[in-house]
Structure 1
Amino acid sequence: MRRAALVLAAAALTTQTWAVSLRDIRTDVKVREGYTRCVVELSGETEFFQRDFLARRKYFLVDIYNVRPAVAERFITPATGPVQQILVLNRKDPDAQVLTLVFYLTDVRRYRVFSVKSPFRIVIDVFHSPEGVRTTTQEARPTVTPVPLVPVRPTPSVPVVTRQPPQRYRADGKKIVIIDPGHGGSDSGAQSYLRIGGRRVLEKDVNLAVAREMKRLIDAAPNIEAYLTRESDRYVSLADRARFCDRFYGDLFISIHCNATDSSRKRAARGLELYYLNPRGATRGSLRYLEEIENRNGGSNGGSTPDWNHPIFRSLARESLLKWLNEGRIVCEHLKAACYQIPYYRRYGNREKVIQSAFFYVLFQAEMPAVLVEIGFLTNVYDCRRLADPQFQKQAATALYNGTVAYFKARDERFEPKYLALPAGP
């Protein structure tokens, strides 16, 4: 016991040596030199990482790891220049306290991030001229020593988890669709009350089957391709799904789910529901229940748990609403029209609105038009039998495909859709 205690104490001391404290954050608008500089002075070296959202939302973030204690959260407003505000906030990574600086810009600008030693400082320069290609690192002047965006911790005996910036890419001339089969692995999602073949129907299995079929149909088309956030029965946290989206310049994000109700009195609910982003969240009780189910694993599996009441998330939600809300609604309209070619959906439309808005984590994080599709209620006997049927799964996937290409055609006259006939139903 004594030896174990000494080992734990030594580990605690080693951990403490990784932590650094914030000494100062200062900004300077250098008008003659043509840039705004922000300097973050720390008590020692630590790793930092930049994330770029300029093309879509006109901000970028710098995460600085192992900063303790937490700092006072605040806004810094430069007197002039392209930096409108800098938001200073704390958040928790699974293995570190993180200091995050969010740089809100007037428009897309070049910038650079580098470090200077003795004392250790992280320097962020935002250039005033909008001309040129945006950069995130740059060779510094001889008086400073640039370091990688993800420097190694100074303690060599401790294994380092390298955080690489996302590599964005897209296929030339093709539309890209990110298909997200909800849940998976240890998170089964909703499950049926009805047993088919002696077992309950699990949402994760239906979601994956429909998503795979939709991807197969999309990849067979010449001008569109699809990527799945998971291709097997494995757990993927909502944060990891968001990071997956960050790898692509996607044109559309579709999250596929099965619906459920929270009481036996509501098991008559059936049919299709389509959701686009509403950053204010749901107002009806049934929608709030659905939000809770779909968002419940957002902080697991390596993702940090966000504080949705924090000013940054309220601000980003407003920006997402302004930019993507209308597009999400339009996508839903096309998907609804295509799905209603399926006789079952057309005959047994849900008694509530088919197209609705709610706050789902995956929709908020996706940097593209994003919708969540509930293809039926596992808690309804009639829906459940169809959702478990491979023929109905193919029908649903085909309808979602047709709605997707119809949306692309409506938004891009050069896009030539290849519509598919619905397969026979069950």
Structure 2
Amino acid sequence: MRAGFTRTLSALAAMLLLPAISLAQTVSVEGVRLWRAPDHTRLVLDLSGPVEHNLMTLRGPDRIVIDMKGASNAADFDALELDKTPISRVRHAVHDGANLRVVLDLSRAVKPRSFPLKPLQQMPDRLVIDLHDTVAPVEKTIADVKSSGGDRDIIIAIDAGHGGEDPGALGPGRVREKDVVLAIARAMHKEINAMRGFKAKLVRDGDYYIPLRDRVKKGKRFGADLFVSIHADAFTRKGANGASVFALSQRGASSETARFLAQRENESDLIGGVGGTLDLSDADEMLAGVLLDLSMTATMNDSLEAGASVLEQMGQVTRLHKPRVEQANFAVLRSPDVPSILVETGFITNPAEARALSTPAYQRKLARQVARGVASYFERKPPEDSLLAKAGPQKPDQVIIARGDTLSGIAARYNVSVAALKSANRLRSSALRVGQKLRIP
């Protein structure tokens, strides 16, 4: 009797365990991608569901072993392009009867890090393996080579949004935001470097992802006088169109579209793949910068003025979504001491604009206008230790009024009288409004 009862319990226990085992075995690797960045290599595994994993580093020879509990493989590891990466070969096999083991044979030692990512937007469950180079590339920043005799170049950091695992917005005809904005950023890089007194530096110069906070840090490390982040809009309505320029807002977005775009762009770290480990290494520095309220206000005002200059130039070649610089809390603009703007070159979800944005000639045209807007701003307000300042203020045909501008201040800046400004612009009073165009006699 007792023996029969024991057998029944054993049978029930086995039946209860079967669904769990079956469930675990249904998780499979559906796809695999490889990205190479300047200082690390990223391997991404697309999964049919969450999976437990374990990572080991082995020596003699160097290799990385990833075990995934109860997983199977349906991906083509042989199709990976391993050139310029530390991975010489990828192997996989069933391990312990029910687990999937993936082995990365290495040509050199690396520092590995792995973390899972939950499904988001079009992305499934993923397992990310980052292989960090043990010898970091020597990157001589522009800040290191600035001359000190009042003749330095003005530094422009150009940030192409998204990249790598994060494609950004997707348009008709498989147009990807990350490809469009990198092409525009590279064209703008050439335009800026062709201008006397300016030097451009690309934050991202390839198809790889950089976390939002690291983009801000990189701009500061370059010693940037202006940080320009290049993007392409996406919206729920395909009819939405036009280019925009954004500056930071710490209080709220200037429109519902601005709020929507900021929320979408700020999710990039979740799509591009940033692990959950909290990094507080520079918390004091960042906190101190934000607490310097007066400095932050001045930076935001400079950002608005630079943005207005860029917006005016872009309006000469494309339709504008809004006639003024908008504001929203974009993470990539949160620098307390570097004026920063985000340029949305158009709506990639609009079929007509998507076709234009994927055309090299149109990309170069937009890049030229953004570069001209940047140059126009600094010709009016050059850094004191720059070559442009040494050459003396350039008198433009007209200026765009930014927040904080006064008629007397503009008169002093361009060595003209207030009366002459009023006469040239048929002004009855000294009151000015942001965005107003003023002719300089």
User: Are the counterparts in 1 of residues 333 and 340 from structure 2 also a CA contact under 8 Å?
Assistant: yes
1:212 lines up with 2:212 in the alignment: no
Cα shift at 1:234: 0.9
3-state SS of the aligned residue for 1:246? helix
**Superposition map of 1:224-263 within 5 A:** 224-261=198-235, 263=236
Structure-2 separation of matches of 1:207 and 1:232? 11
Letter in 2 for 1:323: A
**Superposition map of 1:136-285 within 5 A:** 168-172=143-147, 173-192=152-171, 194-195=172-173, 200-261=174-235, 263=236, 266-282=237-253, 284-285=255-256
Higher-Rg member (1/2): 2
Unaligned runs of 5+ in 1: 1-6, 9-93, 96-159, 420-426
1:398 lines up with 2:377 in the alignment: no
Letter in 2 for 1:231: D
User: Are the counterparts in 1 of residues 290 and 296 from structure 2 also a CA contact under 8 Å?
Assistant: no
Aligned partner (choices 304, 308, 330) of residue 329 of structure 1: 304
Structure-2 separation of matches of 1:297 and 1:362? 10
Aligned partner (choices 373, 378, 397) of residue 408 of structure 1: 378
Cα shift at 1:282: 2.0
Structure-1 separation of matches of 2:260 and 2:229? 18
Letter in 1 for 2:221: R
Unaligned runs of 5+ in 2: 1-53, 56-112, 115-133, 383-388, 397-441
**Superposition map of 1:38-49 within 5 A:** none
Number of aligned residue pairs: 252
Cα shift at 1:319: 5.2
Cα shift at 1:169: 2.8
TM-score, reference length from structure 2: 0.50
User: Are the counterparts in 1 of residues 226 and 339 from structure 2 also a CA contact under 8 Å?
Assistant: yes
User: Are the counterparts in 1 of residues 380 and 393 from structure 2 also a CA contact under 8 Å?
Assistant: no
Q: Which has the higher helix share?
A: 2
Structure-1 separation of matches of 2:289 and 2:245? 23
3-state SS of the aligned residue for 1:257? strand
Cα shift at 1:323: 2.3
User: Are the counterparts in 2 of residues 279 and 321 from structure 1 also a CA contact under 8 Å?
Assistant: no
Cα shift at 1:201: 0.4
User: Are the counterparts in 1 of residues 244 and 344 from structure 2 also a CA contact under 8 Å?
Assistant: yes
3-state SS of the aligned residue for 2:158? strand
Letter in 1 for 2:153: K
RMSD across aligned positions (CA): 3.8
What residue number does 2:327 align with? 357
Cα shift at 1:365: 3.0
1:293 lines up with 2:269 in the alignment: no
User: Are the counterparts in 1 of residues 177 and 348 from structure 2 also a CA contact under 8 Å?
Assistant: yes
Structure-2 separation of matches of 1:354 and 1:235? 30
Structure-2 separation of matches of 1:304 and 1:410? 44
3-state SS of the aligned residue for 1:336? helix
TM-score, reference length from structure 1: 0.52
